[in-house]
């Protein structure tokens, strides 16, 4: 088995944890042993993973292809909701980028998006959103390197204070 079955116990997910690759405010992301195409997101607050899982499953159930093509694919979630398996999306490369994401996603910062193995930009963190249902509507998102450099310079200035 390359990743844990859907709705299986936490142990099955913990046993597949590889190296930690990133940590956000509410979750930590791990590689999966023997499966470089997917990651496991761990959260002590299961509602974050459950929100993403429900959003993905609703888009899939309603055959919203444009939405599914703009968000990370979810393969399984633990029974507790603490562990979620999602396709691995690498960081956006340096430079300016544009994509579309579901209208409901409200946290559209650069770090919440990644690139799949085909070079498609997708949302990899879509827990923060408006509404309870998936509308199927997409909205443009632009990531400007100039803007990122500006904020990086501001942070550097603050560090020197």
**Digit-coded pLDDT (tens) for 31-45:** 999 899 999 999 999
Q: In the predicted model, is pLDDT for residue 74 greater than 90?
A: yes
75 vs 39: CA distance, rounded Å: 10
**128: pLDDT strictly greater than 90:** no
pLDDT of residue 6: 96
Could you tell me if residue 16 is left (phi over 0), alpha (psi between -120 and 50 degrees) or otherwise beta?
A: alpha
Percent of the chain scored above 90 by pLDDT? 74
For residue 148, pLDDT over 70 is answered with no
User: Looking at residues 117-139, what average pLDDT do you find?
Assistant: 90
- Which residue, among 10, 8, 49, has the nearest Cα to 26 in the 3D structure? 49
- 41-68: b (≥16 Cβ within 10 Å) or e: bbbeebebbbbbbebbeebeeeebeebb
The DSSP string of 49-89 is HHHHHHHHHHHHHTT-HHHHTTB--EEEE-TTSSEEEEE--
Asked whether the predicted pLDDT for residue 1 surpasses 60, the reply is no
In whole angstroms, give the CA distance from residue 62 to residue 85. Answer: 21
Instruction: Name the range with the highest mean pLDDT among 53-67, 116-130, 131-145.
Output: 53-67
131-154: average pLDDT: 79
pLDDT at 152: 63
Distance CA 134, CA 140 (A): 16
Would you say residue 145 has pLDDT above 80?
A: no
Average pLDDT of span 44-62: 95
Of residues 151, 155, 133, the one with CA closest to residue 67: 133
């Amino acid at each position: 088995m390359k990743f844990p079955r859907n709705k299986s116990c936490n142990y099955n997910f913990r046993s597949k944890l590889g190296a930690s690759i990133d940590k956000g405010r509410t979750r930590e992301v791990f590689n999966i042993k023997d499966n470089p195409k997917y990651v496991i997101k761990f959260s002590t607050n299961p509602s974050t993973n459950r929100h993403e899982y429900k959003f993905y499953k609703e888009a899939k159930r309603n055959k919203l292809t444009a939405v599914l093509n703009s968000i990370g694919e979810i393969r399984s979630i633990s029974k507790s909701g603490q562990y979620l398996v999602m396709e691995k999306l690498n960081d956006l490369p340096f430079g300016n980028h544009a994509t579309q994401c579901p209208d409901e996603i409200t946290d559209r910062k650069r770090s919440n998006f990644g690139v799949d193995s085909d070079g498609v930009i997708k949302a990899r963190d879509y827990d923060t959103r408006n509404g309870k249902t998936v509308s199927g509507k997409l909205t443009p998102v632009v990531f400007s390197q100039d803007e990122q450099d500006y904020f990086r310079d501001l942070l550097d200035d603050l560090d020197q204070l």
